[in-house]
């Protein structure tokens, strides 16, 4: 085949909106071949695929698409066609648009053309959306929803706790040492039955035992009822009667929000763990110390199962935010933590590193060495997380489970600490 017979590359840009999308197609020379506005529905998607087909889109030669979001039905349907889809940061699009107009004019059609031209000139500098399996995408939906539910639960808990500090110190004292605090079933059952300190002081031991049983407690009911009875009958400061009753009504509203948040988090946790267990990578991920079904699901949700997504371990580390950033200019050189990262993966990374300290002697020794070298607790955890991410990359690529002996071989006492990578 002669060079002149090869198909000319075509690039597509989609300016996304809530009810419509602007499409632009450009060729390798930057000439705009087509532009069109489509609706955000099935007929609009059919128009888009027809437009791409008219300009040479085939199963063997898919036209790449650039869009400013990685979510939504349009993106999902584009990904199912097998074409490369690039999610471009809107800030990058705005910077690119300034290259072509000093007047800074803007329209949806101009943004669509700018997206197409970004692929034409700099496609190698951008990463297409990963080709994750359907199950991995389902795990991502559930794990992220569960993480959001946990954050909602924490917010609801803090609101309720702040409210109780205003008028109900007895309940805070009663569950100050409880591992789940106000999120525990016992605390929520007691607060629902007695939303004010005056009502709580009237509860008998028999009523407290009934509340504990209703909350699902099966052991130590007698002792716990006696303890709660003693705490609730201590001497506390009180608001005026009508003010206290008003606080009680508001507390019941906040309690309902907390109950809903706790239920959502528990149900999504079970669904996430169940979907994660069905994935073939689950056994490798949970072989790492400190990772269970829930935290493992969160890790899989962010890194996916597309083996070509990360070219090397360093790319995965940078994506997780565990690898440091070096800024050098002349004689100045500063190494700092990475701020631009996947926040969800970074959040689970600290939980992972902390949990591994009691599950892995090697991880504990590595953490202690970093602390002895002058790292703060957070920095030492991040360094350990960085090391785990490198191991995770190699284990997934090779299809091997975590091996403590290979991960943390014995070191000599005079070992020089390696630089964070």
Residues 98 and 189 in one domain: no
Q: Is the pLDDT of residue 415 over 50?
A: no
Cβ distance 327 to 336 under 8 Å?
yes
Gap between the Cα atoms of 353 and 384, Å rounded: 6
Q: What are phi and psi of 418, to 5 degrees?
A: -70, 155
Instruction: Give, for 32, the enclosing helix (H) or strand (E).
Output: strand 32-39
Cβ distance 126 to 242 under 8 Å?
no
Domain that holds residue 328: 284-407
Residues 122 and 181 in one domain: no
Residues 247 and 314 in one domain: no
Rounded (to 5) percent helix, strand, coil in the chain: 60, 10, 35
In this prediction, residue 94 carries a pLDDT of: 84
Q: Return left, alpha or beta for 181; rule: phi > 0 is left, psi -120 to 50 is alpha, else beta.
A: left
Gap between the Cα atoms of 324 and 335, Å rounded: 6
Residues 105 and 166 in one domain: no
In this prediction, residue 102 carries a pLDDT of: 65
Cβ distance 65 to 78 under 8 Å?
yes
Q: At a CB cut-off of 8 Å and minimum separation 6, what does 360 contact? A: 289, 290, 404, 407, 408
pTM of the prediction?
0.85
Gap between the Cα atoms of 203 and 231, Å rounded: 12
Q: In this structure, are strands 325-329 and 332-336 parallel, antiparallel, or unpaired?
A: antiparallel
414 belongs to a structural domain: no
Domain-ending residue, one of 129, 153, 187: 129
Residues 95-153 pLDDT 10s: 888 776 666 677 888 899 999 999 999 998 888 999 999 999 999 999 999 999 999 99
**Tokens 């953490």 correspond to what residue?**
367
Gap between the Cα atoms of 408 and 421, Å rounded: 16
412 belongs to a structural domain: no
- pLDDT band for position 2 (cuts 50, 70, 90): very low
Residues 225 and 332 in one domain: no
In this prediction, residue 215 carries a pLDDT of: 92
82 belongs to a structural domain: yes
Residues 195-219 pLDDT 10s: 999 999 999 999 999 999 999 999 9
Radius of gyration of the chain (CA): 28
Domain count, the chain: 3
217 belongs to a structural domain: yes
Which whole number is the average pLDDT over 159-163? 96
Residues 151 and 208 in one domain: yes
Residues 16-58 pLDDT 10s: 888 899 999 999 988 999 999 999 999 999 999 999 999 988 8
Domain-ending residue, one of 228, 249, 275: 275
Residues 38 and 117 in one domain: yes
417 belongs to a structural domain: no
Percent with pLDDT over 70 in the chain: 94
């Amino acid at each position: 085949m002669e060079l002149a017979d090869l198909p000319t590359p075509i690039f597509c840009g989609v300016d996304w909106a809530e009810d419509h999308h602007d499409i632009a197609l450009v060729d390798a020379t930057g000439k705009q071949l087509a532009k069109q506005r489509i609706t955000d529905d099935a007929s609009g998607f059919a128009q888009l695929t027809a437009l791409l087909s008219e300009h040479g889109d085939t199963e063997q030669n898919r036209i790449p698409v650039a869009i400013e979001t990685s979510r939504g039905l349009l993106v999902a349907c584009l990904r199912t066609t097998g074409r490369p889809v690039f999610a471009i940061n809107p800030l990058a699009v705005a910077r690119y648009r300034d290259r072509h107009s000093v007047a800074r004019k803007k329209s949806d059609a101009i943004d669509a053309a700018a997206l197409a031209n970004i692929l034409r000139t700099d496609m190698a500098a951008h990463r297409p959306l990963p080709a994750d399996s359907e199950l991995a995408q389902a795990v991502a939906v559930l794990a992220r929803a569960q993480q959001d539910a946990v954050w909602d639960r924490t917010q609801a808990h803090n609101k309720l706790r702040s409210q109780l500090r205003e008028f109900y110190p007895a309940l805070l004292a009663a569950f100050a040492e409880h591992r789940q605090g106000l999120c525990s079933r016992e605390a929520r059952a007691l607060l629902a039955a007695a939303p004010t300190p005056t009502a709580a002081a009237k509860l008998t031991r028999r009523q407290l035992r009934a509340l504990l049983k209703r909350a699902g407690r099966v052991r130590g009911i007698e002792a716990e009822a006696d303890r709660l009875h003693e705490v609730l009958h201590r001497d506390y400061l009180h608001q005026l009667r009508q003010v206290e009753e008003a606080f009680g009504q508001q507390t019941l509203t906040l309690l309902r929000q907390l109950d809903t948040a706790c239920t959502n988090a528990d149900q999504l946790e079970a669904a996430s763990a169940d979907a994660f267990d069905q994935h073939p990578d689950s056994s490798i991920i949970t072989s790492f110390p400190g990772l269970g079904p829930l935290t493992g699901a969160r890790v899989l949700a962010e890194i996916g199962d597309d083996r070509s997504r990360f070219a090397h371990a360093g790319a995965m580390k940078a994506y997780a935010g565990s690898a440091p950033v070096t800024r050098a200019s002349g004689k100045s050189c500063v190494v700092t933590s990475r701020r631009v990262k996947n926040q969800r993966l970074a959040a689970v990374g600290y939980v992972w590193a902390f949990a591994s300290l009691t599950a892995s002697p090697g991880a504990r020794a590595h953490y202690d060495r970093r602390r002895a070298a002058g790292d703060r607790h957070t920095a030492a955890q991040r360094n350990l997380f960085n090391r785990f991410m490198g191991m995770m990359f190699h284990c997934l690529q090779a299809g091997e489970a975590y091996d403590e002996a290979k991960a943390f071989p014995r070191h000599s006492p005079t070992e020089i600490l390696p630089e964070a990578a």
